[in-house]
């Protein structure tokens, strides 16, 4: 099919931006393929899920239905860690609920000498993260394993830094967008009004972090007070918070 015809058809289905991104990243449009993509757009499937890629912190990541698409808000988390890391130390990083591996990859790419482990309880997600580490030539700096931060049975060492963007949305929250509903539910929703993951991490992460090590957490809008209370009750010391580009408290930092 002629690319101009493809573009116009995609634009009618999903808008100019979607049409531009899809045509730039997809080859060999057949009528059936174009029909299927347009159907996905009309059903609210994010472009990243259609082309199976998303850029994050200047790096390109493979993504699919088993992974949460990397989001700009999470770059606040990465930037907070990088700002705290001088170049004279070989930091060991643990990423809890690694998803695509975007946080861990961005950190080891931008912190000299850093290495780390990412864990996720979904085998399908683990396979995606491993693919991204291979594609980014980071297999010598990272290891992705199937594990759960509720138990962490395979975590056999202590780390300088722990990072996590855990599920933090309460079931039934009306702020969830249609696009987000195409992400895996386990990466979005948590029990106890969205706080269950933080409760598990606050309790268990003390075993996995070195003395004076720091933990960096992404949080949902309005969760700062509740998450602080959870961690301070587990004897973590609050260091500071960081706002995202919209001015929302997005990252909390604690120290053992």
Residue 211 covered by a domain: yes
Same domain (yes/no): 37, 60: no
Residue 48 covered by a domain: no
Same domain (yes/no): 70, 124: yes
Asked whether 85 and 91 are in contact (CB, 8 A), the reply is yes
Taking alpha carbons only, the member of 51, 35, 20 closest to residue 11 is 20
Q: Note down pLDDT in tens along the chain; length 256 residues.
A: 788 888 899 999 999 999 999 999 988 888 899 999 999 999 889 999 999 999 999 999 999 999 999 999 999 999 999 999 987 789 999 999 999 999 999 999 999 999 999 999 999 999 999 999 999 999 999 999 999 988 888 999 999 999 999 999 887 776 666 666 788 888 888 889 999 999 999 999 999 999 999 999 999 999 999 999 999 999 999 999 999 999 999 999 999 9
Residue 210 covered by a domain: yes
Same domain (yes/no): 112, 12: no
* Residue 241 pLDDT: 97
Residue 76 covered by a domain: yes
Taking alpha carbons only, the member of 80, 73, 57 closest to residue 254 is 80
* Claim: this prediction has a pTM higher than 0.75: yes
Same domain (yes/no): 126, 238: yes
SS3 245: coil
* Residue 177 pLDDT: 66
CA R_g for the chain: 19
For the chain, how many structural domains are there in total? 2
Same domain (yes/no): 36, 70: no
Same domain (yes/no): 62, 15: no
Residue 152 covered by a domain: yes
Same domain (yes/no): 20, 71: no
Same domain (yes/no): 110, 155: yes
| CATH code assigned at 249 | 3.40.50.150
Structure token digits, residue 160: 């300088």
Same domain (yes/no): 27, 140: no
Same domain (yes/no): 233, 139: yes
* Residue 29 pLDDT: 87
* Residue 174 pLDDT: 64
Domain that holds residue 36: 3-43
* Residue 175 pLDDT: 64
* Residue 247 pLDDT: 95
* Residue 7 pLDDT: 87
**Biggest alpha carbon–alpha carbon distance for the chain:** 63
Eight-state DSSP code of residue 123: H
* Residue 88 pLDDT: 73
Look at strands 249-255 and 209-218 and give their pairing. Answer: antiparallel
Same domain (yes/no): 159, 229: yes
């Amino acid at each position: 099919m002629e690319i101009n015809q493809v573009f116009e058809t995609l634009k009618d289905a999903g808008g100019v931006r979607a049409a531009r991104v899809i045509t730039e990243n997809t080859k060999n449009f057949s009528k059936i393929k174009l029909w299927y993509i347009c159907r996905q757009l009309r059903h609210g499937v994010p472009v990243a899920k259609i082309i199976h890629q998303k850029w994050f912190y200047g790096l390109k990541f493979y993504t699919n239905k088993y992974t949460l698409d990397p989001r700009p808000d999470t770059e606040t988390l990465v930037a907070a860690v990088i700002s705290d890391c001088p170049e004279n130390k070989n930091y060991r990083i643990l990423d809890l609920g690694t998803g695509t591996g975007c946080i861990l990859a961005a950190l080891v790419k931008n912190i000299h000498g850093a290495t780390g482990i990412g864990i996720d309880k979904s085998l399908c997600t683990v396979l995606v993260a491993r693919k991204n580490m291979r594609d980014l030539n980071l297999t010598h700096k990272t290891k992705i394993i199937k594990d759960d931060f509720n138990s962490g049975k395979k975590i056999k060492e202590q780390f300088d830094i722990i990072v996590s963007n855990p599920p933090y949305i309460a079931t039934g929250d009306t702020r969830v967008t249609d696009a987000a509903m195409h992400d895996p539910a386990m990466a979005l929703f948590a029990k106890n009004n969205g706080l269950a993951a933080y409760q598990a991490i606050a309790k268990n992460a003390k075993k996995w972090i070195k003395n004076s090590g720091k933990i960096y957490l992404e949080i949902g809008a309005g969760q700062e007070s509740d998450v602080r209370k959870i961690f301070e009750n587990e004897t973590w010391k609050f260091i500071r918070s960081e706002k995202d580009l919209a001015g929302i408290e997005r990252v909390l930092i604690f120290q053992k």
